[in-house]
Structure 1
């Protein structure tokens, strides 16, 4: 068994912690920034509680639609969110990533929100769980791409927070 591969991203936002937390947990806020730049997002379900599901779709400018879901494990407002992220179908069932037959089915993520002088430091830590060796290797090979994707999404969050 190989050691756990983990992505760690830290970003500071010029916004109070409560607002940044709400941007991650409220339907009307999430739809303004979650997903790749240029994509539109629809929330199918948002049950913010341990065991609850955030089920969503994102649509590319050319009309390609992908579904995803979070299953929340822990929520400590406004400090921490722990969830399992997966690609899904329209009904919310876990599916393979549309871009890889060896992408892990489940990615564990922990978000921590800490406030410093009216700004919020967000730390995202994540990595595959219940994954095969091949799935872990695929994830590790994709880490730079994942990082770029999150950077773009978090840029959109920063822009949203300026307007919120």
Structure 2
């Protein structure tokens, strides 16, 4: 577990009523991830996953107005059915990303998936490099957005 710095980090933790294996499947299968990853009315219209450290995690989000927002990152840690870590600061193969001025913040995400009875204790920790980045992410609706996406993940997993 990474220690959380409240000045730079955001955390969403909940217990959900689907097993860890289904949460993992939703996070690691592109066709499933595209159905839940972006809170409605936004959509995820593209996804590439190379599930290994140094592998590619790429999504394309689409706004209700049709604007497309590609995001490419690099997996840092992959522990099947338990943990995913990726960052937008690196491209696949651990290549440093060439971040432009229009990127509002860069983060590293840690998704922890732990058995909890018949369900899962789900913890998403998002590490930002600056307090400003954390504040921007929170103001964009981190808790509501990541929470809504988790609700969509759970609904999808229950349909399997």
Q: Taking structure 2 as the reference length, what is the TM-score of the superposition?
A: 0.80
What per-residue deviation string (whole Å, max 9, x for no partner) do you get for residues 61-112 of structure 1?
32111111231000011111111136x9xxxx65448xxx4722x2011111
Q: Is the 8 A contact 2:15 2:122 kept in 1?
A: yes
Matches within 5 A, 1:38-77: 38-77=41-80
Task: Note closer, same or farther for the CA distance 1:44–1:158 as it changes in structure 2 (3 Å cut).
Answer: closer
The answer to whether the aligner puts 1:34 opposite 2:29 as a matched pair is no
Name the residue aligned to 1:122. Answer: 122
State the 1:44 CA deviation: 4.4
The answer to whether the aligner puts 1:109 opposite 2:113 as a matched pair is no
The answer to whether the aligner puts 1:159 opposite 2:155 as a matched pair is yes
Q: Is the 8 A contact 1:103 1:139 kept in 2?
A: no
Q: Please list every run of 5 or more consecutive structure 2 residues that lacks an aligned counterpart in the other structure.
A: 92-96
Counterpart secondary structure, 1:32: helix
Q: Is the 8 A contact 1:96 1:103 kept in 2?
A: no
Q: Please list every run of 5 or more consecutive structure 1 residues that lacks an aligned counterpart in the other structure.
A: 130-134
User: How many Å separate the matches in 1 of 2:150 and 2:83?
Assistant: 17
Name the residue aligned to 2:146. Answer: 150
Moved over 4 A (4+): 93-97
Q: Is the 8 A contact 2:9 2:134 kept in 1?
A: no
Q: Taking structure 1 as the reference length, what is the TM-score of the superposition?
A: 0.79
User: How many Å separate the matches in 2 of 1:26 and 1:102?
Assistant: 26
User: How many Å separate the matches in 1 of 2:143 and 2:71?
Assistant: 18
Matches within 5 A, 1:9-24: 9-24=12-27
Counterpart secondary structure, 1:20: helix
Please identify, of 15-24 and 38-47, the stretch whose mean Cα deviation from structure 2 is larger: 38-47
Name the residue aligned to 1:139. Answer: 134
Tell me how many residue pairs correspond in the alignment. Answer: 148
